[in-house]
Amino acid sequence: MAEQIFISDLHLAEERPETLALFERFLHERPRPGDRLYILGDLFDAWIGDDDDAPLACRVREALAATSARGVQLLMQRGNRDFLMGRRLMQAIGATLLPDPFLTEVAGEPTLLMHGDLLCTDDVAYQKARRRLRNPLFQWLAMRRSLAWRRARAAEYRRRSGEVTAMTPADIMDANADTVLNYLHRHHATRLIHGHTHRPAVHEHRLPDGRIAYRHVLDEWHADHAAAWVADEVSLRREEIR
């Protein structure tokens, strides 16, 4: 029976070879032909553009292309670290780039898929930066810079992001409950699956009509700790990745 598999926040980087090896092994062993693999953002710790020729980018392209060639359907969303993923990458790996948010059906329930950063509305500074980075003109100009320039800017962005995260109260960077409800209500969904916050859990939210909606927060991947949420026709379960 075909399954839907949901992962996010792998943050693949040259300095994390063990996580890359785990991901390659996962792609080779876990998704079966006919399965749908959803990668909900931040597959990379930084993606400088679809023309990236670094060894990491090439290895991941090859692994994903081999996975789709086996009959696994790849569906991807951009995250805050890989917002420059585009059509060229999708064509190279045989994937579909999904909007954020994206409504689908999971285990019989209308389910909203998101990276998750749009839910963190208490972090006003981040939301302002997000709007700037997602601006088509900003991205058009960035992609006309050299790979070396973009690599340097990505390294600086990663450094500053780490500093800001360390200085910002954790609750400000988490999903805002009212924002969650607004998205669920707007899209008529009773389930939400997202990453970004690195706080894996299952939350209950009461909708305006009294029904309970469930929010599944995906795990960040590490070499010694990773997980996916897996759905068949009737159930959704968390599965350890080793």
Domain ranges of the chain: 4-240
Q: At what angle do helices 55-69 and 17-29 cross, to 10 degrees?
A: 10
Q: Does domain 4-240 have CATH number 3.60.21.10?
A: yes
Tens-digit pLDDT profile for residues 47-103: 999 999 999 999 999 999 999 999 999 999 999 999 999 999 999 999 999 999 999
At position 154, the amino acid (one-letter code) is: A
Measured distance CA(170)–CA(101) in Å, rounded: 23
pLDDT tens by residue, 183-200: 999 999 999 999 999 999
Please, what's the b/e burial string for 108-144 (b: 16 or more CB within 10 A of its CB; e: otherwise)? eeebbbbbbbbbbbbbeebeebbeeeeeeeeeeebee
Tokens for 208?
Answer: 């305006």
The per-residue pLDDT for 90 is 98
Express each pLDDT in 138-180 by its tens digit. 999 999 999 999 999 988 888 887 766 666 677 778 999 999 9
Share of the chain above pLDDT 90, in %: 88
Q: What percent of the chain has pLDDT over 70?
A: 98
